[in-house]
Amino acid sequence: MKRFSETYLNKLHIGSITADSNVLMAPLAGYTCYPFRRMCRALGAGLCFTEMVSANGLKYQDRATAKLLYTDAEETGKAVQLLGCVPSAFEAACKGAYTAAFDMIDINMGCPVPNIVKNGEGCALTGNLPLASKIIEACRRSGKVVSVKFRPGMNRSNIVAAEFARMCEDSGADMITVHGRTRDMMYDGEPVYEYIAAAKQSVHIPVIANGGIDSEEAAVRMMEQTGADGVMLARGGFENPLLFAALTGTQTDATKLSLITEQLQIARRCFDELGAMEYIKKLASYFMKKRPGTKVYKQALYSCGNLPELSAILTQIFSETEG
């Protein structure tokens, strides 16, 4: 098998930004918080995006929305993903204080969730190129580097991958990420490589391939089939962040136990106790995914009532599952 690090690994030039690697971590709602981004970057991820943030929420200074943008001086390569459909709200958000610490704006034009699409946001924008163009141009006026993440269309009868990619480049985007599934596929089924390849062949800016990358074999296959400039992990990266190290050749002695122990320490610094416990329980559940006999572990995990108890349970779980 080809090794990704030996065949496809490169630095990634995005506008004025140079990412350390072309293996990126996708924005995941409810998951890609500050501690998780820190971990992925340490394991070799070139960029890690915040979970999606409402541009309109930032415009109206919504506190819950602003909390999603927690960062500090130790985080490098800061990239925020914005969601919405109003160009003026995007411009205000990009120029505002909440995003001032971030170097890069990623525009969500790929979320397939029904209530998002119903609002004309996310994947709905693939059916409205003039509005999508105005949103990109509005973000560009902030002077920040801009990328766009989108799907190839609403369904296989209406594929706009190449056309949409050209519009993104013409409107000023510095990079695009193409999720290889149409909106009606949601998160299931094999990504369609041809859709990503069509986008890649249509533009000169970097094209990142996304969808179904949960192993080194899948990452190599994605690069071979699409000709993309890099890959973006999503659920595969959350389930096994050590995949970043495998793809980038990053030397590490980390185990899932050492990773989650460190995550707990970082989460305690930037969240309250309830928030830290909620995040670590979600992360631990993903770390245990696909392992046989984890039902008992999960029951113990979710019955924890405080951080010391949670720490002890994590040690027991991952000492046994990795031993």
Q: Which residue ranges form the domains of the chain, and what is each CATH number?
A: 4-248 (3.20.20.70), 256-322 (no CATH)
Query: Cβ contacts of residue 315 below 8 Å, gap of 6+?
Result: 257, 261
Pairing state between β 12-14 and 17-19: antiparallel
Is 111 tagged catalytic?
Answer: yes
Closest CA to 21 of 262, 237, 263: 237
pLDDT at residue number 322: 65
pLDDT at residue number 74: 86
**Which has more confidence, 41 or 60?**
41
pLDDT at residue number 299: 87
The H-assigned helical ranges of 149-255 are 161-171, 193-200, 216-226, 235-239, 242-248
Residue among 40, 111, 123, 139 flagged as catalytic:
111
The dihedral formed by the CA atoms of 146, 102, 227 and 7, expressed in degrees to the nearest 10: 160
Mean pLDDT of 259-279: 93
CB 35 within 8 A of CB 71: no
CB 204 within 8 A of CB 229: no
Instruction: Identify the helix (H) or strand (E) that includes residue 179.
Output: strand 175-179
| Residue 23 phi, psi dihedral angles, 5° rounding | -115, 110
Per-residue pLDDT band for 258 (boundaries 50, 70, 90) equals very high
pLDDT at residue number 321: 64
The dihedral formed by the CA atoms of 1, 292, 35 and 92, expressed in degrees to the nearest 10: 80
| Residue 301 phi, psi dihedral angles, 5° rounding | -60, -50
pLDDT for 203 beyond 90 = yes
C-alpha distances in Å from residue 301, one per residue of 12, 250, 283, 296, 311 = 39, 30, 11, 9, 10
pLDDT at residue number 61: 75
Mean pLDDT for all residues in the chain: 94
pLDDT at residue number 63: 75
pLDDT for 195 beyond 80 = yes
Mean pLDDT of 172-177: 98
- Residue tagged 């200074």 (tokens): 61
Largest CA distance in the chain: 55
pLDDT at residue number 11: 97
Alpha carbon distance 252, 192 (integer Å): 33
pLDDT for 288 beyond 90 = no
Instruction: Tell me which amino acid residue 68 is.
Output: L
